[in-house]
Amino acid sequence: MDKRKLIKKLKKNHQLKRATPTYITNMEHYRDEYREYPEIKYLINNVLAADKLLTAGRLPQDLPKMILPDNIQDQIYQKINSKYEMDDPKGDQEWNRLSADLPELDKQLRDFRDYLENQFGMWAYISSSFTYHLAQYLNGHHTLEVMAGNGYISKGLRDNHADVIATDSLEWKNENETGRHPVTDVEQLSALDAFHKYQDQVDYVIMSWSPDGVPIDDELLQAIRKVPRDIKLIVIGEKDGATDSKAFWQDVHLYDDEGIKNLNQHYSNFDLIQDHVYLAK
């Protein structure tokens, strides 16, 4: 799937229904089918481990790129040749089966973000490692998270004893089953209402995966700029891509420092979406 098609699909996913469990069932099947191929098992086990942790209400681990190795067909061919004689029909049968299932496995791995959105309401992939380092970056400063969704970032920060207020309009929870399963306390406030309520109490605002085409992100940016205090905005999104409004990316000034660079080392880009952590003003 090319990036344009993926982005188009992501746009629709803000109104998705809860996913069926067949995705994980399929991945378990592929794990057994390709048990002799460590690079494939590694990817699948990462998917299954993330699902298990999220189902238990915990943050998942970092993810590798969910892409099959370029030479995976060669690996399969060589493995089969080492197991069977050239004229053994079992080798041909195994080759036909494994090579025929590769395209669907590849698609399933690339669709992992869709599964996370459908099943858990997780758009930005938030790992326990990332929130640990984010808490270190915030270094005790009072923080407001807007558009927190189910609260994965705030949960991770709270697990690391960070001082964070989680807020979201929660308008989407009536349209999407995943919005009814918060992982931490989230106060029902729009982004602007939350900022106006807490602007005198916080030093940082976190905004993750603001919906593309919706100008609330730019409105929040302008509100932060009007405050005489230095309030820093941490943004997680894909610049000029799958997240945030065009106006926001045109107006925002993005800064880089060693702390932000370090955070991006712990933020998983596991598919074609190139979202990153930014310091904005």
pTM of the model: 0.88
- Residue environment code for 208-218, b if the CB has 16+ CB neighbours within 10 A, otherwise e: bbbbbeebbbb
In the numeric block, the tokens 């995976």 are attached to 72
Residue 219: both structure tokens together: 């409105």
* 59 neighbors 124 (Cβ within 8 angstroms): no
Q: What is the pLDDT along the chain (281 residues), one digit of tens a residue?
A: 444 444 445 544 444 444 445 999 999 999 999 999 999 999 999 999 999 999 999 999 999 999 999 999 999 999 999 999 988 999 999 999 999 999 999 999 999 999 999 999 999 999 999 999 999 999 999 999 999 999 999 999 999 999 999 999 988 666 655 656 899 999 999 999 999 999 999 999 999 999 999 999 999 999 999 999 999 999 999 999 999 999 999 999 998 889 999 999 999 999 999 999 999 99
What is the CATH topology of the domain spanning 128-280? Rossmann fold (3.40.50)
pLDDT for 178: 61
Residue position matching structure tokens 């195994």: 94
Structure tokens given for 116: 């996370």
Q: Give the domain ranges of the chain.
A: 3-120, 128-280
Torsion-angle region of 121 (φ positive above 0: left; ψ -120 to 50: alpha; else: beta): left
- CB of 269 within 8 A of CB of 275? yes
Q: At what angle do helices 112-120 and 22-33 cross, to 10 degrees?
A: 140
- Between the alpha carbon of residue 1 and those of residues 4, 5, 178, 273, the distances in Å are 8, 6, 25, 12
Strand stretches in the chain, DSSP E: 143-146, 164-168, 187-188, 204-208, 232-237, 254-255, 276-280
Average pLDDT value over all residues in the chain:
91
